[in-house]
């Protein structure tokens, strides 16, 4: 039996209270996890401040670039371990974890090393004032100790997406991964130890949200900033706690994302893209499309085609390289998704495909599996259309005009992502720019340049991450203004 311990001030720490890490594939126990109490979280925060005031705080940007690249190299060397831990925790297929999660987790460190190598962090940016008799320049400094609370759906990818830029800017971090996916965070702590990161710069605390490590971090008076990815309701709770100390926050929250499909699209390419947008990671990606609007002339064709495509999605053991869909993260989350299937039925939905639980006749029947599901026939104010489900389900409805579908797609309290499919260049620009979201894709989905701004509006979050946008959040600018005397001395 594996034991996932906390990592604080460069030391591995056990706790008297533990909980079990459960496989969503078959319900078996993956590991025993040691839950951090308030005192251990407090020690992690203190260790972080000591690191920022000491050895870690004295590093230059060039030295931090070396550390980030060492971390990436060590993760690369242990790629098989990260892959095994990611699949054990999440149940996601090898075909996804080996292409998306682990490579991207490594790439996050290399990307921010490259950005840091050329960014004006420790150097000065000179700017003459309008008066021409003063010299102004800005110095970028770390915030201090950053609380990093990461989710279960893309645990390694999203954890490193925050830790890499935070360390790049010279901060220390206190990390809390989801209680459902503690494995890769523990491996990352092993990597930090292996590369010789100064003690206290990276601290790992396991636990839950309320009355556990999540709450202890977000309410701690000496945490300098909080970055969180997860549910909008949890983000609200963290924001309340952060408000007490007026701490900066960066939130990437939920989504009820729209896909808009025009009749002039490349139909086959669109079906390929929408299959991913609907069912990647069993729909457990904040960017997945749950609301699909199809121009009326191809509405029936789309419903038939996506139902046929679902039949080709292999739902099987994650280790099978041909598997395309794994289980949901937990039995609890499966029950939530299934409850929305029932809500949709009560609201009068037509089930085009799915709507149930696959049966295998083996131990997988103890897991958290759900069929990929497509529904139609609901009004825009139905609960299944307005509330985030976060599973392999979408609602499809027809539309008749561009202005109509823009209004309907924007009629939501969320604002994370949109996907537009059309061969009309002018329409592509008009519609994508009209979406009240953080990112609009045109004729693609999930394509990301890590230097570009990423985030949401409304209930989908606060702030932007990516490239210099991340470095701007994880650092504080101090402007220095020096008066230049006009008269010659001597």
Q: Which residues are catalytic?
A: 252, 286
Cβ proximity of 193 and 10 under 8 Å: yes
- Strand arrangement of the beta sheet that strand 2-4 belongs to: 2-4, 29-34, 18-22
How far, in Å, CA of 343 to CA of 347, rounded? 6
How far, in Å, CA of 294 to CA of 173, rounded? 45
Task: Name the residue with tokens 């007026």.
Answer: 246
How far, in Å, CA of 379 to CA of 397, rounded? 9
- Residue 214 makes CB contacts below 8 A (sequence gap 6+) with 149, 176, 207, 208, 234, 238
How far, in Å, CA of 192 to CA of 202, rounded? 7
What's the alpha-carbon Rg for the chain, to the nearest Å?
24
Write phi, then psi, for 245 (nearest 5 degrees). Answer: -110, 10
How far, in Å, CA of 231 to CA of 241, rounded? 16
Write phi, then psi, for 20 (nearest 5 degrees). Answer: -100, 140
């Amino acid at each position: 039996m594996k034991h996932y311990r906390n990592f604080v001030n460069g030391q591995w720490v056990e706790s008297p209270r533990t909980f079990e890490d459960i496989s969503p594939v078959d319900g078996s126990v993956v590991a025993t996890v040691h839950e951090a109490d308030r005192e251990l979280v407090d020690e992690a925060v203190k260790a972080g401040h000591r690191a920022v005031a000491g050895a870690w705080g004295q590093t230059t940007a060039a030295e931090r670039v070396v550390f980030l690249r060492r971390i990436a190299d060590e993760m690369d060397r242990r790629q098989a371990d990260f892959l095994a831990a990611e699949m054990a925790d999440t149940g996601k297929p090898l075909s996804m974890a080996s292409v998306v999660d682990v490579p991207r987790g490594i790439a996050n460190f290399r990307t921010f090393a490259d950005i840091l190598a050329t960014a004006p962090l420790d150097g000065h940016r000179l700017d003459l004032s309008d008066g021409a008799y003063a010299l102004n320049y800005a110095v970028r400094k770390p915030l201090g100790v950053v609380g990093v609370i990461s989710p279960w759906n893309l645990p390694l990818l999203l954890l490193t997406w925050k830790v890499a830029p935070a360390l790049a800017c010279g901060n220390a971090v206190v990390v809390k991964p989801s209680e459902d996916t503690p494995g890769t965070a523990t491996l990352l702590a092993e990597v930090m130890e292996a590369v010789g990161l100064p003690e206290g710069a990276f601290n790992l605390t396991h636990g839950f949200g309320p009355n556990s490590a999540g709450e202890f971090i977000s309410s701690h008076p000496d945490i300098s900033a909080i970055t969180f990815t997860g549910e909008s309701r949890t983000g609200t709770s963290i924001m309340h706690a952060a408000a007490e100390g007026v701490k900066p926050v960066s939130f990437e929250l939920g989504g009820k994302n729209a896909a808009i499909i025009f009749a002039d699209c490349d139909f086959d390419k669109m079906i390929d893209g929408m299959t991913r947008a609907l069912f990647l990671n069993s729909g457990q990606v904040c960017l997945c499309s749950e609301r699909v609007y199809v121009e009326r002339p191809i509405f029936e064709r789309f419903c038939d085609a996506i139902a046929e495509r679902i039949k080709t999605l292999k739902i099987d053991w994650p280790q099978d390289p041909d598997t395309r869909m794994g289980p949901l993260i937990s039995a609890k989350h499966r029950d939530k998704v299934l409850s929305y299937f029932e809500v949709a039925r009560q609201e009068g939905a037509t089930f085009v495909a799915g709507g149930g639980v696959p049966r295998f006749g083996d131990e997988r029947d103890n897991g958290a599996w759900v069929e990929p599901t497509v529904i139609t026939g609901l009004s825009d104010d139905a609960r299944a259309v307005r509330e985030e489900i976060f599973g392999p389900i979408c609602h499809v409805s027809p539309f008749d005009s561009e202005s109509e579908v823009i209004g309907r797609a924007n009629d939501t309290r969320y604002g994370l992502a949109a996907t537009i499919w059309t061969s009309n260049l002018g329409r592509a620009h008009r519609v994508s720019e009209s979406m009240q979201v953080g990112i609009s894709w045109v004729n693609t989905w999930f394509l990301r340049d890590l230097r570009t701004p990423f985030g949401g509006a409304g209930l989908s979050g606060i702030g932007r991450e990516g490239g210099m946008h991340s470095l701007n959040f994880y650092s504080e600018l101090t402007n220095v203004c020096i008066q230049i005397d006009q008269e010659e001395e001597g």
